[in-house]
Amino acid sequence: MPNVPAATVPDVTVPDVTVPDLPDVPTVIVLGSINEDIVVRAPRHPVPGETLLGSSVQRFPGGKGANQAVAASLAGALTLMIARVGDDISGSAMRTTLHAAKVDTTYVGPCKHDPTGTAVIVVSDAGENTIVVIAGANEKLRPVHVDDAFDAQIAKPNDVVLAQLEIPIEVVSHALQRARRMGVRTILNAAPAQQLPDALVGAVDVLIVNETELATLTGDAEWTSGIANMSDRVGTVVLTRGGEGVAVCQQREIVCVPGHEVEVVDTTGAGDAFCGAFAAAIASGLGANEAARFANGAAALACTRLGAQSGLATQRDIDAFLSSKNVES
Ligand code: RIB
């Protein structure tokens, strides 16, 4: 057996080691509604006074806020939601669904006296929908709930706050102004459309609307002039145009992203898929045009399944879909 020298402890001076801070991962903070969707399938939409026989009725998780939060999380963003549900079975089911999609629900509080929001949706054979929302607990979200979350330092400057208008507009305005003061990027999906107070508009970095919503906000039936005029008030305006794709307008300059052909089953939640994926892409550092390209893929995939959240796609699926369409993501 060879002579093995005894182990010696080398004379090493251990330098002071400073562990570097881990890079901050931007979070998408979604402020918005949570609904239970009751979805009825019918050959077409009934006209007033008409009774139609439908083919199915199903319950799905929904609400523009929840749909967008799940879309952002699946698209790869750390996601947290500020919202209200009822203290009822559907409220806890909606929270469970958000958890399953890895959305932080610390600030999704139960509301004692109001039920979880409900949406009644009719989807026609052409995949188009009509929606009636009963706000329930969503109406009880207050500025103090936003302050509770922000006071607990949920937001840092490179985060993104994403809101819609199915909750009281004064809460959205309060949250976006507070976010703006902190240097947090703000995205408003003005759906359902209503007139926006100047203080709110002044706190929006990116406004996302569809053509009907843009016309309501601007009073202009022509989208090209409507979006250009709106871009005088908000830095970036993103117009979702269904199968036609998306238009992004900054300082009156419009960039169009073409739509993708898919087999449409249900367009419910396609706009939410877009907003969530867009926010995730912005949080990851992409510019508005690139984020719109990515989100456009998410919206197309969302149309291929029944239910607002069932069609939401992961980052990997969106990337694969876009490369199958020869779009760089
Ligand atoms: O955008 C689709 C959503 O609108 C549905 O999930 C429904 O809940 C309504 O909020």
Ligand 1 geometric centre to CA of 297 (Å): 19
pLDDT of residue 22: 44
- Contact between 206 and 190 under an 8 Å Cβ cutoff? The reply is no
To test the pocket of ligand 1, the residue of 166, 212, 240, 305 to mutate (highest count of ligand atoms within 8 Å of its CB) is 166
Of 37, 104, 114, 272, the active-site residue reads 272
Mean pLDDT in the chain? 92
Q: Which atom of ligand 1 is nearest to the CA of 117?
A: 8
pLDDT of residue 329: 61
Whether the bond between 5 and the residue before it is cis, its omega within 30 degrees of 0, is no
pLDDT of residue 298: 97
Angle, helix 169-181 to helix 143-151, in steps of 10 degrees: 30
The question of whether 272 is a catalytic residue gets the answer yes
Ligand 1 geometric centre to CA of 56 (Å): 18
Q: What is the pLDDT of residues 23-44, one digit of tens each?
A: 568 999 999 999 999 999 999 9
Answer whether residue 12 shows pLDDT above 50. no
- In which residue are the tokens 């926006």 written? 196
Q: What is the pLDDT of residues 282-304, one digit of tens each?
A: 999 999 999 999 999 999 999 99
Ligand 1 geometric centre to CA of 12 (Å): 64
Residue identifier of the C-alpha nearest atom 7 of ligand 1? 63
What pTM, to 2 d.p., does this model score? Answer: 0.92
Ligand 1 geometric centre to CA of 322 (Å): 25
| Residues paired with 247 in a beta bridge | 239, 256
pLDDT of residue 43: 96
pLDDT of residue 227: 98
Mean pLDDT confidence for 232-236: 96
* CA 98 and chain centroid, separation: 13
Mean pLDDT confidence for 117-137: 95
Answer whether residue 10 shows pLDDT above 60. no
- Contact between 65 and 83 under an 8 Å Cβ cutoff? The reply is yes
pLDDT of residue 17: 43
**Which range is least confidently modeled, 66-70, 139-143, 244-248, 302-306?**
302-306
Q: What is the pLDDT of residues 156-182, one digit of tens each?
A: 999 999 999 999 999 999 999 999 999
- Contact between 246 and 284 under an 8 Å Cβ cutoff? The reply is no
Q: Which atom of ligand 1 is nearest to the CA of 33?
A: 10
Return the SS3 of 59.
Answer: strand
Pocket of ligand 1 (CB under 6 A): 33, 35, 37, 62-64, 67, 119, 131, 133, 166, 268-269, 271-272, 308
